[in-house]
Amino acid sequence: MPGLPAYRFPVAIKSSLNILLCREPEESTAPSTIALEPRIIPLCAAWFPANDTEGRTGIQVFREKRIPGARFFDLNKVINTHSPYPHMLPSAEDFAASISELGICKEDILVVYDTKELGILSAPRVGWMLKVFGHPKVHILNNFRLWVEQDLPTEHGEVYSFSHSTYPVSRLDDTKLATFEDIREATVDYNKEGREGIQVLDSRSSGQFRGRHPAPQSDSSGHMPGSINIPYDLMLDPETKAFLPSDQLKKLFEMKGVDPLKPIISSGTSITAYVLETALNEAQFGSPDSRKVYDGSWSEWTQRVRPWDYLVLKEQNSY
Average pLDDT, the chain: 85
pLDDT above 80 for 257 = yes
pLDDT in tens, 138-183: 999 999 999 999 999 999 998 888 899 999 999 999 999 999 998 8
Spatial distance between the Cα atoms of 66 and 225, rounded to a whole number of angstroms = 42
Spatial distance between the Cα atoms of 120 and 132, rounded to a whole number of angstroms = 20
Spatial distance between the Cα atoms of 295 and 314, rounded to a whole number of angstroms = 22
Lowest mean pLDDT, pick from 82-91, 118-127, 212-221, 240-249: 212-221
Establish how many alpha carbons lie within 13 A of residue 64's alpha carbon, considering only the half-sphere containing its beta carbon.
11
Altogether, the residues listed in the chain come to a count of: 319
Average pLDDT over residues 8-22: 39
In the chain, the domains with their CATH numbers are: 6-172 (3.40.250.10), 175-309 (3.40.250.10)
Spatial distance between the Cα atoms of 278 and 124, rounded to a whole number of angstroms = 6
Q: Under a CB-based contact definition with an 8 Å cutoff, are residues 264 and 201 in contact?
A: yes
Q: Under a CB-based contact definition with an 8 Å cutoff, are residues 177 and 183 in contact?
A: no
pTM of the prediction? 0.86
Q: Under a CB-based contact definition with an 8 Å cutoff, are residues 50 and 116 in contact?
A: no
